[in-house]
Amino acid sequence: MTPKEAVAFAKEKGTKMVDLKFTDFIGIWQHFTVPVSEFSEDLFDDGLGFDGSSIRGWKPIHASDMLVVPDPSTAMMDPFNEVPTLSLICNIIDPITKESYTRDPRNIAAKAEVYLKSTGIGDTAFIGPEPEFFIFDDIRYGEGPDNSFYALDSAEGIWNTGREECPNLGYKPRHKEGYFPVPPTDSFQDLRTEMCLVMEQVGIAIECQHHEVATAGQAEIDMRFAPLLKMADQLMWFKYVIKNVAKRWGKTVTFMPKPVFGDNGTGMHTHMSIWKDGKPLFAGDGYGGMSELAMNFIGGILKHAKALNAFCNPSTNSYKRLVPGFEAPVNLAYSGRNRSASLRIPMYSSSPKAKRIEARFPDPSCNGYLAFSALLMAGLDGIQNKLDPGAPLDKDIYGLSPEELKDIPAAASSLEEALDALEADHEFLLKGDVFTQDVIDTWIEYKRKNEVAEVRLRPTPHEFFLYYDC
């Protein structure tokens, strides 16, 4: 859609307001809204000003003026506003230099696609994430110098089998048994279906929806694969739609990787492939029907995995999911079919177009623009340096003895370790100016100061359980 077509589309839909959305450094959508009378083709050249110092990880107050410039190809009617509202995803521009802002996550993703083409390796990186999430009835949390707590609830939670619900009808999935019974045990079929239908309204192709493994409303909705930048945009719409549909039903959704103790965490298995001139490049006659190029791509991700954790698993809560000995893929190995490996080669189809790799360690707390770009850059580094991923691990990793496990490297065990790894290993991200040194430094500084240090400072209830009587 061109600027002229976007303006015509707004008129055709009876638009009264125009909502301008952009993604902050951490990965949360921000927005402001203008009357349609302010909406013209000039907006796509001139943009609109805002205060960049109020956005996390962006400009200092003495240099805070920035511009949002909408991308006309993203024009879509917002499905949640009472008044007809056109939604546009925006790029961030420096008003002085007129250059794209280097800390704008969408700009980083766009540069990753340009870099792929510049290498001559391929022209399209297809991404297919599987974001999981929990649907809760209630969430409360708070803290002070003398207390801290969280309390969540779900009518589906197995802990509520004895609650007086007048009547309590049971049908609550047991821990690790939510994949995937029919209703009435699965009580969210209609809610997930509505989420899918609204996502189709905003142009997202949906492949399937289902209950996930955990009790208490864990769910998954899968989008059909798309080019990297488009998929990162769709992931923002995905979260927006799911949260707002849930709110309409009086529910609340979280993409936290580990909100429920004692059950499966929430991941975002991410499928990736590279194509050139309309042809898939990952199909071949090697292991799992993969090409040498695909195996080198795997080698790059395995080599840089701990640094990738800093973008793909960017919360302290991420490492409550990535714990050795459970189902999360912490061991850095690859395999066909074996879901206990951190990288899997799906074997559903022998079609060359279906050949892809699946990174199983990312989680949906990530900023998709940064995570998808970092994964691509690591894979390309593997191709450029012909990195051998070694032998596949087709055994059940969780059944291996300590002696067998000792030579298998592991993902980062904490956000602090992941940030240290990124600090030591990020040259592959700087190629093509996709990530800049400023972006890397700012990400590390922000996460250490605002998340790692703040969590480290606070006692937790379980520490009182362990240590109060010492």
Q: Could you write out the DSSP letters of every residue in 101-121? A: PTT-HHHHHHHHHHHHHHHTS
Q: How confident is the model at residue 330 (pLDDT cuts 50, 70, 90)?
A: confident
Q: Quote the pLDDT of residue 61.
A: 59
Least confident of 62-66, 132-136, 342-346: 62-66
Q: Quote the pLDDT of residue 78.
A: 97
What are the structure tokens assigned to 98, written together? 């007129």
Distances (CA, A) of 260 to 324, 384, 403, 451: 17, 41, 32, 20
Q: Quote the pLDDT of residue 452.
A: 97
Give the whole-number percent of the chain exceeding pLDDT 90.
Answer: 84
Using DSSP, state whether 436 is helix, strand or coil.
coil
Q: Quote the pLDDT of residue 334.
A: 92
Q: CA–CA separation, 178 vs 360, rounded Å?
A: 19
Residue 69's identity, in one-letter code, is V
Q: Quote the pLDDT of residue 76.
A: 96
Q: What is the pLDDT of residues 358-380, one digit of tens each?
A: 999 999 999 999 999 999 999 99
242 has a pLDDT exceeding 80: yes
151 has a pLDDT exceeding 80: yes
Which residue stretches of 20-174 are H helix?
43-46, 105-119
Q: Quote the pLDDT of residue 89.
A: 98
Q: CA–CA separation, 99 vs 151, rounded Å?
A: 46
Q: How confident is the model at residue 54 (pLDDT cuts 50, 70, 90)?
A: confident
Q: Quote the pLDDT of residue 51.
A: 87
Q: Quote the pLDDT of residue 215.
A: 95
Q: How confident is the model at residue 63 (pLDDT cuts 50, 70, 90)?
A: low
- Backbone torsions φ then ψ of 257, nearest 5 degrees: -65, -30
344: nearest Cα among 320, 327, 361, 367: 361
Beta strands in 40-123 (DSSP E): 48-51, 65-70, 76-77, 85-93
Q: How confident is the model at residue 163 (pLDDT cuts 50, 70, 90)?
A: very high
243 has a pLDDT exceeding 80: yes
Other C-beta atoms closer than 10 Å to the C-beta of 305 total: 25
Task: Identify the residue with better confidence: 74 or 329.
Answer: 74
What are the structure tokens assigned to 180, written together? 């995937």
What are the structure tokens assigned to 84, written together? 């007809």
**Taking a C-beta distance cutoff of 8 angstroms, is the pair 56, 25 a contact?**
yes
Q: Per-residue DSSP letters for 275-327? A: EETTEESSB-SSGGGB-HHHHHHHHHHHHTHHHHHHHHS-STTHHHHS-TTSS
338 has a pLDDT exceeding 90: no
Give the whole-number percent of the chain exceeding pLDDT 70.
Answer: 97
Q: What is the pLDDT of residues 418-439, one digit of tens each?
A: 999 999 999 999 999 999 999 9
- Rounded to 10 degrees, the C-alpha dihedral 47/52/54/60 comes to -170
Q: Quote the pLDDT of residue 346.
A: 86
Distances (CA, A) of 241 to 226, 438, 449: 18, 32, 31
Distances (CA, A) of 129 to 177, 207, 222, 451: 23, 11, 7, 25
> What is the overall mean pLDDT for the chain?
94
- Backbone torsions φ then ψ of 265, nearest 5 degrees: -85, -175
Distances (CA, A) of 137 to 3, 66, 155, 238, 381: 42, 39, 7, 20, 44
Q: CA–CA separation, 75 vs 86, rounded Å?
A: 7
Q: What is the pLDDT of residues 348-360, one digit of tens each?
A: 777 888 899 999 9
106 has a pLDDT exceeding 80: yes
SS3 content of the chain, % helix, strand, coil (to 5): 40, 20, 40
Q: Per-residue DSSP letters for 396-413? A: -GGGS-HHHHTTS-B--S
**Taking a C-beta distance cutoff of 8 angstroms, is the pair 265, 178 a contact?**
no
296: nearest Cα among 415, 378, 178, 219: 378
Q: How confident is the model at residue 402 (pLDDT cuts 50, 70, 90)?
A: confident
Distances (CA, A) of 352 to 96, 114, 339: 48, 24, 21
62 has a pLDDT exceeding 70: no
**Backbone dihedral region of 199: left (phi > 0), alpha (psi from -120 to 50 degrees) or beta?**
alpha
Q: Quote the pLDDT of residue 174.
A: 94
Q: Quote the pLDDT of residue 202.
A: 96
> Average pLDDT, stretch 257-282?
96
Residue 116's identity, in one-letter code, is L
The listed range with the strongest mean pLDDT (45-54, 124-133, 396-405) is: 124-133
Which residues are the active-site residues?
51, 130, 132, 212, 220, 269, 339, 358, 360
> Angle at CA 94, nearest 5°, toward 93 and 98?
80
